[in-house]
Structure 1
Amino acid sequence: MSRNFDLDLIRTFVAVADSGSMTVAANLLHMTQGAVSQQVKRLEEVLDCPLFVRKTRRLELSRQGEQFLVNARKLLQLNDETWADMTGQSLRGALRVGVPYDLVTPLAPAMKAFAETHPHVDISLVCAASPELGKAVDSGQVDVSLIEYVASEAEGDVIRIEPLVWVQGRGSDAWRKRPLPLSMVDERCAFRPVVLGALADEGIAWRTVFESSNIEATAATVRAGLAITAWLVSTVPADLESLAPEATGLPALPSFAICLRLPATVQPAAREFARLVVESMSNAAGTTRVRVVKTA
């Protein structure tokens, strides 16, 4: 007598195998941890063998689990491809996209293209600082994310690398003041430790004028000439200007990589969204607007 696999059980098994955690798999699959545990147990009962070895901090595949994982992936791939071919609507469901505050606008073209092509996928944005988004990807709280790293420490797929530059309002002399007035995104921002470290290395005293996760609020204090900030060159608004370190005595800042991160288990919608992000952002770097300041 023929027997049929329950693909929901297999999908859960693959998510747990990839993440090594019932909790992470539950986040990826939008399920409770208890439901994930029950589904794994049901699959083990059907196959009459243990699929995982329960360690103290992580689940590891048993010998039978390693063998089954290869075919489990094939079954899911064939199912998803066949469903897409037969229904003509390949993608449905929800997609959680992580993005740093300063990259929301650069991400907009990819979001628009995806929404127009896949109207049955509900996109939700999770805006946070890059370190937080890295943790969200690892824990399955987002399905795909842009993350900013110092270029030498990049993780995931690097979309592009660009310089971090000092920015101030046009005609402002805020860069001359000491302590140097800074307006930055909150303390979790990936740029903050780099900027403060560079100033410390040069012995330049600084003070915080304003901190906020709202990028427009940060820009407002810079436009008003109250402070300077540091942004990726492609994100500098046209009405602000970048400052050349050699002309101002400010320390040079390192380049940052804009990276695309996906969790261990990647849903089809996330993979397609990632492709569109790479297409729209890889060649869309901004033009550097550097003010050459003449010192007295």
Structure 2
Amino acid sequence: MARDIDISLIRTFLAVAESGGMTSAAHTLNLTQGAISQKIKRLEELFDTPLFERKNKTIRLTPEGERLLVRAYRLISLNDETWQLMTQPAFTGEIRLGVPLDIIRPLLPPILRRFSREHPRIQLTLVGDMTGNLLNALKNGDVDLTLTTESRAGGGDALLLSDQLVWMGAQNGEACQKTPLPVSLGSDSCAFRGPTLDALNKAQVDWVAICAQGNLDSILASIEADMAVAPYLQSLVPPNLSAIPPDAGLPALPTYHINLHLPDAGGSVIAKELAKYIRQGFAAR
């Protein structure tokens, strides 16, 4: 006998799968953690199978959960498309989002996936660049809104995340012990370049630039090869690299902030809608 599936249970399932935890999913859906747990329990009872494996405060999909995942996206997409068609004018058009290169992959995919799923008629274009260039692009109208990494926290709801800038190196690497210290800095417009050089010079550390004009891939490659160290946001250090501990003797680096900027005029309706999704995504971290 066929049974109906409660779409809210599927939406909760996807939120947990994408965020990797009940607490993060609760922030995303604006529900309590208890409500999230109950919805997952109801869905597992409906299918008579566990969908998540819980171990050591981590949660991951079971094989049955992975089977459901692709169909769950299709269910939600069809549900949302039908709802928009029948109840409200759909958002249409193009939106250009500026994003610093080092935060695109670690932070944006779940946010962009949810936005694109729920607004399929909007063409979302990513513009990856350095913070200074992105702020100029926003001022000139070349992007509709932009994320930035800045030394000053944005006011009001502009601040998305504050994080410690740390030294990053290869796992069990030796570059941090070399003299002069090899530092991979990237281009002159890198937001971390100024405070990093200030810290090195104030501490009177002898250093040499490695990969002085490279892109993010070349910087990461030089770090992984143990050719150099580099400044990076602590929470975004890739799993194949390591934050260098303070006892290595490198000078301390400042706290940095990920901010969200819209045009001074406030931005378009679509830009404000995307900004809402971005704020919700960061709040769920």
Is the structural similarity TM-score above 0.5?
yes
Unaligned runs of 5+ in 1: 1-83, 285-296
Unaligned runs of 5+ in 2: 1-83
For residue 288 of structure 1, what is the aligned residue in structure 2?
Answer: none
For residue 226 of structure 1, what is the aligned residue in structure 2?
Answer: 227
Note if contact 1:182-1:208 (Cα within 8 Å) is conserved in structure 2: yes
Matched ranges for 1:254-273 at <5 A:
254-263=254-263, 264-273=265-274
1:38-60 alpha-carbon deviations (Å, 9 max, x no partner): xxxxxxxxxxxxxxxxxxxxxxx
- TM value normalised by structure 2: 0.66
1:272 & 1:213 partners in 2: Cα distance?
Answer: 34
Note if contact 2:203-2:251 (Cα within 8 Å) is conserved in structure 1: yes
Letter in 1 for 2:244: L
Answer yes or no: is 1:92 the counterpart of 2:116. Answer: no
Query: Do the aligned partners of residues 158 and 119 (structure 1) sit closer, same or farther apart at CA in structure 2, a change above 3 Å counting?
Result: same
2:227 & 2:190 partners in 1: Cα distance?
Answer: 20
For residue 211 of structure 2, what is the aligned residue in structure 1?
Answer: 210
- TM value normalised by structure 1: 0.63
1:131-175 alpha-carbon deviations (Å, 9 max, x no partner): 111122222221111011113x54670011010110000111111
1:221 & 1:134 partners in 2: Cα distance?
Answer: 28
Letter in 2 for 1:147: T
Please state how far the C-alpha of 1:90 moved relative to its aligned partner: 3.0
Please state how far the C-alpha of 1:85 moved relative to its aligned partner: 9.4
The secondary structure found in structure 1 opposite 2:123 is: strand
Matched ranges for 1:17-36 at <5 A:
none
Letter in 2 for 1:158: L
The secondary structure found in structure 2 opposite 1:211 is: coil
For residue 146 of structure 1, what is the aligned residue in structure 2?
Answer: 147
Structure 1 residue runs of 4+, over 2 Å off? 84-90, 153-156, 211-214
Please state how far the C-alpha of 1:215 moved relative to its aligned partner: 1.9
1:222 & 1:238 partners in 2: Cα distance?
Answer: 13
For residue 129 of structure 1, what is the aligned residue in structure 2?
Answer: 130
Question: Which structure: larger Rg?
Answer: 1
Note if contact 2:90-2:121 (Cα within 8 Å) is conserved in structure 1: no
Query: Do the aligned partners of residues 119 and 213 (structure 1) sit closer, same or farther apart at CA in structure 2, a change above 3 Å counting?
Result: farther
Please state how far the C-alpha of 1:119 moved relative to its aligned partner: 1.0
Note if contact 1:101-1:213 (Cα within 8 Å) is conserved in structure 2: no
For residue 274 of structure 1, what is the aligned residue in structure 2?
Answer: 275
2:256 & 2:284 partners in 1: Cα distance?
Answer: 16
Query: Do the aligned partners of residues 85 and 262 (structure 1) sit closer, same or farther apart at CA in structure 2, a change above 3 Å counting?
Result: farther
Query: Do the aligned partners of residues 213 and 85 (structure 1) sit closer, same or farther apart at CA in structure 2, a change above 3 Å counting?
Result: farther
